[in-house]
Structure 1
Amino acid sequence: MNITTFSKEQLAGQRVMAGFDGTDLNNDLKFLIDTLKIGGIILFTRNLSGPDQIKELCQSVQEYARIRGQPPLFIAIDQEGGQVARLKEPFTQFPGNPKMKDEADAVHFAKVTAAELTELGVNMNMAPVMDVAPEGVQSIMAERVFGHTPERVSALGTKVIRHLQNNRVMAVAKHFPGIGRTTSDSHNDMPFLNADMAALESFDLLPFEAAIKQAVAGIMLSHIFYNKIDPKWPASLSPRIAKKLLRNMMGFAGIVITDDLDMGAIKKHYDIRTVIQQILSADIDITLICHKGPNIEIAFEEILKGITDTQEIKTRGEASVRRILKLKEKYL
């Protein structure tokens, strides 16, 4: 995959990961792959009816991308186990991160999950959750975290990363720079976290540092407003958090992904064009839009406009696509 042969449309589309309706390679999916040239799709329960159907869906979208001259697609899913698990029975059901007793449980989860995902053709898991929920806080993440201390979250989370990725499934650590202290849900509206950099560095960031050392493929940004770090933008739209903190200070060289831009935390406060402009200025690699609708096409058009109008954004955008293609060449 030689980036110098990519059209501007391909450069823009690689930076979009989209959800869709339906359980097969329908016209909506063909439009996303052929016209918007998207780099990836994400699967939800609405797209899944059984092992044979899921495998056929994954094979058909990859084959369609190939015959249309596109790179292989990221095919992602949220399969954390427990509260957030898109694959239901007959797939293995796990009690969830809080119920893990030790590192052996984490290894078992990752190996079994990776085997089931690769058999289907799913190549990216939006896991593990690397948030830390402190004791005594009514954390929104209480039922999804590995534990109450950065040490435990780091130990179990890195085991999941290692054994997913050793078994050909890209791991995405989330939700940077940490949402374990928050008590409100970004699906509904934007939570605020009044923690300064010293508080983050001594607690929330430690598992993400461990994930970076473990060469995690991707890191997902939260939609939380860390007002003492960036007084203007939530993490998912923040150059201070995505570029300065994660890239420059922490040295992360993998792909950076937003959380779903359809969530209330973003949709209630910003229009999609402003959102994309911020994403481009923050060197965020992948925009995640999980529901069918005009925002997917508008996002593509806004990315295309950015790389067409501005040489600096085009150059930085090419660096993003190189990061994406490096992962695709390694795993796909």
Structure 2
Amino acid sequence: MKNHTADTMAGQRLMVGFDGTAFNADLKYLIENLKVGGLILFSRNLETPEAIAQLCRDCQAAAADHGLPPLLIGIDQEGGLVARLKAPFFTEFAGNPAMRTTADAVDFARVTAGELHAIGVNMDMAPVLDVAPQGIDSIMAERVFGSDPQWVASMGRTVIEQFQQRGIMAVGKHFPGIGRTVLDSHLALPDLDIDLQALTDFDLVPFRAAIAAGVAGMMLSHIRYTGVDPVWPASLSPAVTADLLRRQLGYQGVVMTDDLDMGAIKPAYDIATAIDQVLLADVDIALICHKGPDIQTACDRIRKRLTDDARLRTLGQRSLERILTLKRDYLDAA
């Protein structure tokens, strides 16, 4: 992958969902034609461990057959409320709020990493690094480690280290923190009226720990932090990624949006506008979790913007290198 075509540069910036439990024509098109860099699995894609493993092998083989880097294959396996893999085939955990000791985090990460590795999944969209303050009806209350930033930081760092020691890329979420949020961004775009100092003192503490632990990826929230950027939600904001996360906090790893199909983004922003902002914000991967025309539109838009705009092309080359470096580190990418 020394000479990157415009098609490859565009496709590697996408992580997408699909329908079906086996390799099919849609997956063939996504990999061979759009050259997508990653896939994300949901309950609709999951049957037995053997079937999932075959699906992942077939997808990786399709990428290799066309001279493409290995695919990132991700899943949301936080434990508890959000866990795509379930009994009787997989170990179920009570979830982050139920963890009482570091040993609990080690056990969760060790077992989960082993089960993911066995089926060919190489990335977990976890841990949740949000902090839910006491006294508010946080939308994240049932998914967070707790209300103490230092405790969340410690548990999150433990999960990251245990995952990554076992070859599973961890993705910390949802930067810069949605624990204070009471409106569900799956449904609408929440505004959070908070300044940078308050975020720094509380919400950012676990994310700093994750950066120090070398977390493979960061996922951005679909929340608009009006004290940081009054216009764009974090997932589309240059102030949040290029400035806060990369420049101020020094994170140089892979950054991805949350699902651009969520209600916080649609219908407020069409896919072309969202992609333009992803590129401007120095976000590496656009996550589009449902089959549909947006995936093709996004790929075409990225290719066009990287071709037409020299500044975005330079940012895009750096972004591609971050993605390929991650793949080399974890997936023996060519």
- Normalised-by-shorter TM-score class: over 0.9
Specify the alignment match of 1:9 in structure 2: 7
Specify the alignment match of 1:286 in structure 2: 285
The answer as to 2:41 corresponding to 1:34 is: no
Question: Which consecutive aligned stretches of 4+ in structure 1 deviate over 6 angstroms post-superposition?
Answer: none
For each residue in 1:151-191, what CA deviation from the matched residue of structure 2 results, as whole angstroms up to 9, or x when unmatched?
11001000000000000000000000000000010000001
Q: How far apart, in 2, do the equivalents of 1:137 and 1:301 lie?
A: 42
Specify the alignment match of 1:58 in structure 2: 56
Q: How far apart, in 1, do the equivalents of 2:267 and 2:142 lie?
A: 26
* Contact 1:96–1:144 under 8 Å retained in 2: yes
Q: How far apart, in 1, do the equivalents of 2:245 and 2:113 lie?
A: 27
Specify the alignment match of 1:327 in structure 2: 326
Q: How far apart, in 1, do the equivalents of 2:301 and 2:265 lie?
A: 17
Structure 1: unaligned runs, 5 residues or longer: none
- The normalised TM-score by structure 2 is 0.98
Specify the alignment match of 1:47 in structure 2: 45
Superposed counterparts of 1:209-288, under 5 Å: 209-288=208-287
Specify the alignment match of 1:171 in structure 2: 170
1:80 maps to which of 78, 81, 86: 78
Give the letter aligned to residue 62 of structure 1: Q
Specify the alignment match of 1:316 in structure 2: 315
Q: How far apart, in 2, do the equivalents of 1:268 and 1:185 lie?
A: 15
Structure 1 range deviating more: 73-82 or 307-316 = 307-316
* Contact 1:189–1:268 under 8 Å retained in 2: no
Secondary structure of 1:265's aligned partner: coil
Secondary structure of 2:138's aligned partner: coil
- The normalised TM-score by structure 1 is 0.99
Q: How far apart, in 1, do the equivalents of 2:298 and 2:246 lie?
A: 23
Q: How far apart, in 2, do the equivalents of 1:305 and 1:7 lie?
A: 12
C-alpha displacement of 1:312: 1.1
Q: How far apart, in 2, do the equivalents of 1:330 and 1:46 lie?
A: 30
Structure 2: unaligned runs, 5 residues or longer: none
* Contact 1:219–1:255 under 8 Å retained in 2: yes
C-alpha displacement of 1:50: 1.0
* Contact 1:192–1:226 under 8 Å retained in 2: yes
* Contact 1:188–1:263 under 8 Å retained in 2: yes
Secondary structure of 2:173's aligned partner: strand
